[in-house]
C-alpha cells in the first residue's frame, strides 16, 4: 500500500499560532468589556435618550457581544496550552480591571452611592475571578515546567 | 531515546505551548494514524476525513493529557473511537472466543510486515485492528489493551485467533508456513 494522506502535519498544526489566539482573546475580551460598559451606561441613563442614540448603543452592545461569543467559540474549539492560559488570564485581569474602572466612573457620574457600590462590587468580583484563574494558570505552567526539566534530566 | 520517552517529552513541551514540539509530535504520528485509519476503513478519502477528525479531537484534548508517557495508546484510542463511529453498523462487540489461551505458534515465523499488510484487508475488524496495533505499530500488549479497552488476556486471545486467521489466509494465497 503506497498511498498516503492527502494532507500533511502542517495542515494539522496550522491555526494554532500564538498571535492568532492572542488576537482572538483581545477581540473577545474587548468586545465583552465594551458591551458591558455601554450596557451600563444605557441602563443608568437618568433621562430618556433619543431613539437614534438608543439604537446606536444597542448596536454597539450587539457587536461587542458577538465578538465575545465568536472568540469564546473559536477558542473553545482549539487547545489552550499552558502559555496561552497564562496570557488569557493576564488579559482577563487587565480587561476586568479596566472594565471596573470604566463602570465605576460611569456610576460616579450618573448614579448614587448604591450604584457605585453595585458596579464596583461586580467589577471587583470579576477581577478576583480573573486573578484566581491567573494563579491557577501559573501554577499549571510551573508544574509542567518542573515535569519537563525532570524528563530532560532523565533522558539527557 | 525510545518512543515512549520521546513522546512524553514532546507532549509536555507541547502542553507548555511549544509549537515546534507539537509539530514534531504530529509529524511523527501523522502517517501512522492515517495508515491505521486507512487499513481499518479501506477507503483513502474516508481515511483522510476520519484521521483529520482524530487529530482535531487529539489536539483539543492534549492539554489535559495527564500521563504523557501514554501518548501513543491515548492517540490510538481516539483514532479507534473515530473509526468505530464509522464502522458501528458492521462492528461486532461480541467476542465469543475471548479467553482462549494465547500461545506461540508457527505463524509468528511468517509474520513479516509486508505479508501482514497484504493480508490484513481480508480479516474481520476485531482481528485486523489488534494485528495493526501489535505488529505494525509495535504497541505492547498493555498498550493494545488500553487502546481496545479490553483486558490483556483478551488481547492475547484475539491476537492468537487473528494470527491463525492470517495464517489460513496466507496459506490460501500460497505462502508457506
Q: Looking at the complex, does the CB of residue B31 fall below 8 Å from at least one CB of chain A?
A: yes
Q: Looking at the complex, does the CB of residue A141 fall below 8 Å from at least one CB of chain B?
A: yes
pLDDT of residue B116: 63
Partner residue opposite B12 with nearest CB, options A13, A84, A148: A148
**C-beta atoms surrounding B113 within 10 Å:** 9
* Max mean pLDDT range (A45-54, A59-68, B39-48, B122-131): A59-68
Average confidence (pLDDT) over B112-128: 73
Using alpha carbons, select from B133, B134, B10 the residue that is nearest to residue B79. Answer: B133
Q: Are the Cβ atoms of B22 and A147 closer than 8 angstroms?
A: no
Asked whether B141 and B156 are in contact (CB, 8 A), the reply is yes
pTM for this entry: 0.69
ipTM, interface predicted TM-score of the complex: 0.70
- For B68-88, write each residue's pLDDT tens digit: 999 999 999 999 888 888 776
- Residue A152 with chain B: CB contacts under 8 Å: 9
- Residue recorded with cell 505494525: B136
Ranking A38-47, A48-57, A119-128, B107-116 by mean pLDDT, the lowest is: B107-116
| Beta strands in chain A, from DSSP E residues, in sequence order | none
Distance, in angstroms, between B121 CA and closest chain A CA?
11
Ranking B22-26, B27-31, B98-102 by mean pLDDT, the lowest is: B98-102
Ranking A4-13, B94-103, B164-173 by mean pLDDT, the lowest is: B94-103
The count of CB pairs under 8 A between chains A and B is: 82
Q: How many angstroms separate the CA atoms of A11 and A14, rounded? A: 5
Confidence of residue B94 (pLDDT cuts 50, 70, 90): very low
- Residue A10 with chain B: CB contacts under 8 Å: 23
pLDDT of residue B113: 57
pLDDT of residue B15: 93
Amino acid at each position: 500500500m503506497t498511498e498516503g494522506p492527502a494532507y500533511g502535519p502542517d495542515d494539522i498544526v496550522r491555526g494554532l499560532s500564538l498571535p492568532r489566539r492572542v488576537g482572538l482573546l483581545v477581540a473577545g475580551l474587548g468586545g465583552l468589556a465594551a458591551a458591558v460598559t455601554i450596557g451600563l451606561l444605557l441602563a443608568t441613563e437618568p433621562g430618556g435618550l433619543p431613539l437614534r442614540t438608543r439604537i446606536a448603543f444597542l448596536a454597539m452592545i450587539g457587536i461587542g457581544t458577538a465578538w465575545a461569543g465568536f472568540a469564546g467559540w473559536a477558542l473553545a474549539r482549539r487547545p489552550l496550552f499552558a502559555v496561552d492560559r497564562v496570557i488569557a488570564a493576564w488579559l482577563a485581569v487587565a480587561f476586568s480591571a479596566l472594565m471596573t474602572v470604566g463602570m465605576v466612573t460611569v456610576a460616579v457620574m450618573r448614579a448614587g452611592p448604591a450604584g457605585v457600590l453595585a458596579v464596583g462590587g461586580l467589577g471587583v468580583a470579576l477581577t478576583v475571578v480573573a486573578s484566581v484563574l491567573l494563579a491557577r494558570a501559573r501554577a499549571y505552567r510551573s508544574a509542567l515546567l518542573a515535569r519537563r526539566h525532570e524528563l530532560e534530566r532523565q533522558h539527557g | 531515546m525510545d518512543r515512549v520517552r520521546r513522546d512524553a517529552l514532546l507532549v509536555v513541551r507541547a502542553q507548555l505551548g511549544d509549537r515546534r514540539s507539537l509539530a514534531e509530535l504530529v509529524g511523527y504520528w501523522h502517517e501512522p494514524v492515517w495508515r491505521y485509519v486507512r487499513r481499518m476503513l479501506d477507503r483513502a478519502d474516508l481515511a483522510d476525513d476520519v484521521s483529520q477528525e482524530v487529530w482535531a479531537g487529539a489536539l483539543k484534548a492534549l492539554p489535559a493529557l495527564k500521563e504523557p508517557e501514554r501518548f501513543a495508546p491515548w492517540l490510538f484510542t481516539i483514532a479507534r473511537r473515530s473509526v468505530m463511529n464509522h464502522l458501528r453498523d458492521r462492528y461486532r462487540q461480541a467476542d465469543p472466543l475471548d479467553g482462549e489461551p494465547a500461545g506461540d505458534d508457527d505463524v509468528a515465523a511468517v509474520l513479516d510486515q509486508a505479508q501482514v499488510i497484504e493480508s490484513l484487508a481480508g480479516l474481520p475488524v476485531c482481528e485486523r485492528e489488534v494485528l495493526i496495533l501489535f505488529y505494525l505499530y509495535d504497541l505492547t500488549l498493555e498498550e493494545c489493551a488500553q487502546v481496545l479497552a479490553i483486558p490483556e488476556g483478551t488481547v492475547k486471545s484475539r491476537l492468537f485467533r487473528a494470527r491463525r486467521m492470517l495464517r489460513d489466509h496466507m496459506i490460501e494465497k500460497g505462502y508457506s508456513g
